[in-house]
Amino acid sequence: MNTQPRLIEVRQNVLKQNDLLARELRVRFQAAGVYVVSLVSSPGTGKTALLEKMLTIFREEWRVAALVGDLATDNDAARLARSQVPVKQITTGTVCHLEATMVERALEGWNLEELDLLFIENVGNLVCPSSYNLGEDLRIVLLSVTEGEDKPLKYPTIFNTADVAVITKIDLAGAVEFDEHAAHANIQAVRPGMEIFQVSAKTGEGMDELKQFFRMRNAECGVRI
Ligand code: MG
Ligand code: ZN
């Protein structure tokens, strides 16, 4: 017997439930005036390092906080706590992506009115996070110079559902012979016109441009960040 249609039906239902909740979250975020940014990438691209840097720099200008998703450990939350902003871990167990319901639960006890900018670090995974809307205003996909310029071609969906690409660990570009031209061309091939930033969380290179981008977003959206 072929059980395929039933499985597809269940999956579509889960996605639909997620979308409904994500829409509710989005309404809540907008009402509270908090701009929400999610980070997606494969494991090891430096999401947490970039996030720590952003939290540390951005807290001078905005009221920032972060939710950080991981399969098992709360190491990332402990690390991010050094930035001295509110941070909460979402441990997903066996689930390899964040869902809107996990975000909703993690936000319990937080007053969103007291925030300007909320970051959500997804579980390191380039596949299913693309299907789960978390109510975010902006999705950033990270690509590190150490992982190969063809990642966008291999995982076009995640690049397609993201709004901005950030190339990380740019301080290592020379050592790994990173082909910047190819990386940009591949990103543009799957998502024409996508804005691309190049940063190093280690040296701080590119962080000013990223901060300036958030300032401009603020002006465009009329969101209070
Ligand atoms: Mg992490
Ligand atoms: Zn998953």
Ligand 2 mean position, distance from CA 206 (Å) = 31
Q: What is the DSSP string of 68-92?
A: EEESS--HHHHHHGGG-S-EEEEE-
Ligand 2 mean position, distance from CA 128 (Å) = 5
Surrounding residues of ion ligand 1, Cβ less than 5 A? 47-48, 76
Residue with tokens 């790994």: 176
Distances (CA, A) of 6 to 9, 88, 134, 136, 213: 5, 36, 25, 30, 44
Three-class SS state of 148:
coil
What's the number of domains the chain is made of? 1
Ligand 1 mean position, distance from CA 8 (Å) = 30
Closest-lying ligand to the alpha carbon of 50? Answer: 1
Q: What is the CATH number of the domain that holds 16?
A: 3.40.50.300
Q: Could you tell me what percent of the chain has a pLDDT over 70?
A: 95
Query: Could you tell me if 144 and 126 are in contact, meaning their C-beta atoms sit under 8 angstroms apart?
Result: no
- Euclidean distance between CA atoms 59 and 115, whole angstroms: 11
Expressed as residue numbers, the domain containing 65 is 4-221
The one-letter amino acid code at 180 reads E
Tens-place pLDDT, residues 121-171 = 999 999 999 999 999 999 999 999 999 899 999 999 999 999 999 999 999
Ligand 1 mean position, distance from CA 71 (Å) = 10
Query: Could you tell me if 25 and 100 are in contact, meaning their C-beta atoms sit under 8 angstroms apart?
Result: yes
Would you state the pLDDT for residue 142?
Answer: 98
Q: Which residue in 174, 155, 175, 173 sits closest to 165, CA to CA?
A: 155
Q: Which residue in 17, 55, 19 sits closest to 135, CA to CA?
A: 19
Ligand 2 mean position, distance from CA 96 (Å) = 4
Closest-lying ligand to the alpha carbon of 77? Answer: 1
Tens-place pLDDT, residues 55-107 = 999 999 999 999 999 999 888 889 898 888 999 999 999 999 999 999 999 99
Q: Give 188 or 71, the one with higher predicted confidence.
A: 188
Q: What is the mean pLDDT of the chain?
A: 93
